[in-house]
Amino acid sequence: MATAKEEFLKEFGEHYGYPNSPKTIDQIRAAEFNRLQNLVYLDHAGATLYSELQMESVFKDLTSNVYGNPHSQSDSSSATLEIVRDARQQIMKLSVIQVLDYCNASPKDYKCIFTSGATAALKLVGEAFPWSCNSNFMYTMENHNSVIGIRDTRYALGQGAAAIAVDVEDVHTRIEGENFSTKISLHQIQRRKVAGLREGEPMGDVYNLFAFPSECNFSGLRFNLDLAKIIKEDSSRILGTSVCNNGRWLVLIDAAKGSATMPPDLSKYPVDFVALSFYKLFGYPTGLGALVVRNDAAKLLKKSYFSGGTVAASIADIDFIKRREGIEELFEDGTVSFLSIASIRHGFKILNSLTLSAISRHTTSLASYTRKTLLALRHSNGSSVCILYGRHNSMEMCHEMGPIVSFNLKRPDGSWFGYREVEKLASLSGIQLRTGCFCNPGACAKYLGLSHMDLISNTEAGHVCWDDHDIINGKPIGAVRVSFGYMSTYEDAKKFVDFVTSSFMSSRNHVDHGNQLEGVNGFLDTCYYLKSITIYPIKSCGGFSARSWPLSNNGLKHDREWILKSLSGEILTLKRVPEMGFISSFIDLSQGMLFVESPHCKEKLQIKLQLDFSDVTIQDIELHGQRYKVYSYSNETNAWFSEAIGRPCTLLRYSGSNHEFVLDKTKDVVTCKDTNSAVCFANEAQFLLVSEESVSDLNKRLSSDVQKGIHVTATQVNASRFRPNLLVSGGRAYDEDGWRDIRIGNKYFRSLGGCNRCQIINLALNAGRVQKSNEPLATLASYRRVKGRILFGILLKYESVNGEQQQGDSWLHVGQEVHPD
């Protein structure tokens, strides 16, 4: 029987792996991308990777030559200036020619303006375009925000132009007796400034701009570049006379994504502006892009600002300026990034050695295989696992798709997996991909079926780009995207497909509750007791254990009562500053003192629990969407913590807040939300309880994975890795999942549900070093997932009795019995 790869090569072998190039894909990966041995990188639409050979050439170039400021003419640099001028002329000429050649553009017809990126190139067009109140800015729905931004009040709309989004479809239609393969549907006209629209008034020259991407960075759809010809030559018939009855149309292509595999051929298509980004092509340098502009279109651009390098002469105290005549010199403000420009030729050398046609065939074969395999995935009930976005329903359409696969995943019952869950699990599996809307709101709304009302209500509900919201009102508000680059391999695609199969097929979508499914009656016959109590006075720093400890309205007395804040206002946590874990703390209640130690500080810090109000100030901060009043400390105390974590910070102490929690019960899990109980600076609840038996079961699974070869070395964890306040012993693993109310001694607690785990538990602090791995979260994800959450341990709230504060001995003691009720 043929292997999976043999089957792949049987279908795609003619196009995969650069069979006619000096190096095969396996040789390229082994020699030039050694850093990808344990990583699957599938975000080439976001940024592709530079090769080690490319960077060696860049380093050799920059260390063998002297490249100085091309504008410098001081006596001290005159000896270097001639060398730099010659080098700049050679490099700029080579670079410009390479850029123009990349788009098959003649230097007689086009010029290349270097910018700080593709966004800067698009902005240049927007701010210099000759807008008028009779102009139209038309753009496809599938456009990046950097293109849509051209409609801004300072550009198109601000100059009185109309802005119109359009949908483009490939259909066969007849207009005025002629066959057209493209249909353009207009959305509503946007207009903000109408002054000057007076009937009968001379219009002068009117210029309109049509913008579209060569490849949609959301779906991978490649636009037919014949659209440029249609717009320039037949705009009135294809668009209608209502918006196209006057003026000349110019065409802008955002080729930042598409140029990596199929740059626009400007010898065939008379495009006026093309925006490029070099790190999208070959990974390095970042911060450098280009605007390829047609010469006659460049003459229409209006430049208002002038700077160093763009003027031939100026006088400071009168309004006199003579601008440079060259197109590049006129629009390249200040000193161009000449060292980056010197580097791009080494990137082009890599691409040219493989050829663009071979890169396109190679990446398309991987994307086609991935789409085909994902579409075939079925749950046990026959329902589809994956919903793809873009044109993929027939093999004949595959040539219209770039090396992007955008999708969402469904459960057997038809509900959606959140894309953040997919991203989280992919990261644990060593797969880097992208989720969200990819700065392409039009394509996102179009493919996900989000209405204007959906988008506005989602925003009003607090959703913003890059947050953790992924499903709102049962609908996904973004997608998962994988994208391939010239160095991607079959093994990358196969590992990704296997990840989707193993992680999101119906048989893996459950939480193993263990024997707790027998219910409450099983708990009544089992003895549980409190094994340890741990207090963490400073959020994200080390805690200490106590045999007995008092309770307060906020949980354990003094638990997470202090936090560290950066000078920029960010609340510091273990996730962002792992060094916080090396700070140890201890509270002596009899002395009324908090003791803090760090391996980076010689002296032990002592902080009085009793505040000296003459030496502190009160301020407000925000954490987890809640407002807190806090006390601040002296410069000496702040200096100690700054030295301990290696960055400037301040210590703050809890004073009060309105932070509350409530229960939200679903079919499978109880989750924690804002409610009626006070906490200090805990993320979710007053207490975190972990079972010793559950930790033991996890360690057995980790050891089993080693025996199966899933892990090379044993990874054992102790309960402290989960930073619990309460460790219980007795019963069976995961009994705590079914607890709703519990009593410890004579104190009552309400379960707020399972604790959703993140990658913090993968940090091991050993011998002053922070070690990161995928465990134990990866193993927990294999059997403790429910509704996008990886659960381990439960969250608790200290309960009052009959609405009254609990009386008597308000302490917890190690050894007390734990009774689930």
> Do residues 671 and 540 lie in contact, with contact meaning Cβ atoms separated by under 8 Å?
no
d(CA 348, CA 486): 13
- Using an 8 Å Cβ cutoff, are 139 and 211 in contact? yes
272: which residues sit within 8 A by CB, 6+ positions away? 250, 251, 252, 293, 294, 297
Q: Strands 431-432, 40-41: parallel, antiparallel or unpaired by DSSP?
A: parallel
Question: What ranges in 606-759 are assigned the alpha helix state H?
Answer: 635-645, 692-707
Q: Residue 506 has what DSSP assignment? A: G
Give dist(CA 515, CA 686) in Å, integer: 27
CA 753/CA 286 separation, integer angstroms: 45
Integer Cα distance of 84 and 82 in angstroms? 5
Q: Which residue has the tokens 């593709």?
A: 118
- Are 752 and 795 a contacting pair, CB within 8 Å? yes
Residue 133 catalytic?
no
Structure tokens at 555: 């949980």
H or E element at residue 374: helix 356-376
Cα distances (angstroms) measured from residue 723 to each of 41, 152, 164, 588, 820: 32, 49, 54, 21, 22
430 and 136 Cβ atoms separated by less than 8 Å: no
- Alpha-carbon distance of 417 to 786, in angstroms, equals 10
242's tokens: 């209502």
Q: What residue ranges in 23-109 does DSSP mark as E strands? A: 40-41
- Cis peptide leading into residue 537 (ω within 30°): no
CA distance 561 to 594: 11
Beta pairing, strands 248-254 & 162-175: unpaired
Within 10 Å of residue 508's Cβ, how many Cβ atoms?
A: 13
Q: Which of 216, 439, 444, 541 is catalytic?
A: 439
Give the residue numbers annotated as catalytic, written as ranges: 439
